[in-house]
Amino acid sequence: MTNNPKIGIIGARNERHCIYLADELRQQGAEPLIMDNTLLQPFPLTLWPGKNSYHTHEREHSLEEMHAFYLRALFLPTPAFDARAVEAQIREEGYVAYAAQRERYATWLSWLKCLPLQDKLLVNPVDTLLLHFAKPYQLEMLRQASIPVPDTLVTGNGAHVRAFANRRSIVYKPVAGGAHCQQLTEQDLQPERLEALAQAPVLFQEFVEGQDIRVFVLDSQVIAAFEIESEGIDYRTGSAKVTPVSITDELSDLCIRACKTLGLVFSGVDLKQRSDGSVILIECNPSPMFEGFDRHAHIPIVSQLARFLIHEARSRLAQNTAAGLS
């Protein structure tokens, strides 16, 4: 067991980063277990102090002998708008369908929040998922830690948008995610467009001119950094050139400090570096995509992440064994 630790990956069994990390863990001699928390599977988790387990139709896995977990995604308890099968269930069954999903979510959430109490590692802590979903909260935490972030406005009030823009270059994006970052135009400032804000607020930010940089931080160390060349405002749209780079100690320290501030063990940090060398931190991602960056990395991010998880699992198992707990 000590030589082949079992590592849990919480997400979906067909999600590409879950599979990518599982493949790497297997190559490094660990036994990965993708723990599927999507809405449509038979509920797999049993919480019983000292006997926690995860079961599939094939077998039951004890969670007591597992000491390191990677959190890729925690699916919402909702009647999620896009979960067509659940929508059908809700139409047919009404409130009971929602109640079932809520109970499933509460059980997953409880187990994830208990892991640190049991001296188990969770990368990242479940509460940090909120940092991606509630972006103004993340920005305020960073701002209070004196980390430079863009001037930001979240509002449903068009007059506030006009005052905020004030002849500056502004971009906007959703508060929770789900759409690309876009440039605010004169047309966007017309009354009929601004009226739509009353339905749902939007996050507006000063546009920071400069070089896009993505830095990966793991366990308070920078493990990879990339410059991204893109024609669009949002480098996720269209084609982009990704180049691995070395970054200064000052920039490394900034990224590490940001991750510590937010409680992130692993993160993809997005920054803008201005021509004068100053840096603005755009966002720290609590469950970053890394497969695409690995195609350009000197040392694959996935191999470093897997090595870290395996090391943590082994050392925690050894500690528990010495203490007679496992």
Partner 1 sequence: MKKTVLFITELETRRTNQALFTNEEKGRLDVTTMAVGEEGGDIYTTMAIGEEGGC
Residues in contact with partner 1 by CB under 8 A are: 11-17, 19, 36, 38-41, 72-76, 80-85, 128-133, 172-174, 176-180, 182, 188, 193-194, 196-197, 199-200, 202, 236, 240, 242, 268, 285-289, 291-293, 295-296
Q: Which is nearer to partner 1, 258 or 317 (CB)?
A: 258
The SS3 call for residue 199 is: coil
Q: Which residue has the tokens 């508060």?
A: 175
**What φ, ψ does residue 305 adopt, rounded to 5°?**
-65, -45
Name the DSSP class of 126: G
**What φ, ψ does residue 128 adopt, rounded to 5°?**
-75, -15
- Nearest distance in Å: CB 169, partner 1: 18
Q: Which is nearer to partner 1, 82 or 249 (CB)?
A: 82
- Nearest distance in Å: CB 199, partner 1: 5
Q: Which is nearer to partner 1, 232 or 320 (CB)?
A: 232
- Nearest distance in Å: CB 142, partner 1: 17
Q: Which is nearer to partner 1, 130 or 299 (CB)?
A: 130
Q: Are 233 and 171 in contact (CB under 8 A)?
A: yes
Instruction: Enter the tokens of residue 79.
Output: 């009647």
Q: Cα–Cα distance between 223 and 298 in angstroms, integer?
A: 10
- Nearest distance in Å: CB 305, partner 1: 14
- Nearest distance in Å: CB 236, partner 1: 6
- Nearest distance in Å: CB 194, partner 1: 8
Q: Cα–Cα distance between 280 and 277 in angstroms, integer?
A: 10
Could you tell me how many residues make up the chain? 326
The SS3 call for residue 125 is: coil
Q: Are 80 and 73 in contact (CB under 8 A)?
A: no
Q: Going by C-beta distance under 8 Å and a sequence separation of 6 or more, which residues neighbour residue 140?
A: none
- Nearest distance in Å: CB 61, partner 1: 18
* Longest Cα separation, the chain: 68
Q: Are 243 and 231 in contact (CB under 8 A)?
A: no
Q: Which is nearer to partner 1, 51 or 113 (CB)?
A: 113
- Nearest distance in Å: CB 249, partner 1: 26
Q: How many CB atoms lie within 10 A of CB 206?
A: 17
Q: Which is nearer to partner 1, 299 or 325 (CB)?
A: 299
Q: Which is nearer to partner 1, 5 or 205 (CB)?
A: 205
Q: Cα–Cα distance between 77 and 108 in angstroms, integer?
A: 10
Q: Which is nearer to partner 1, 52 or 287 (CB)?
A: 287
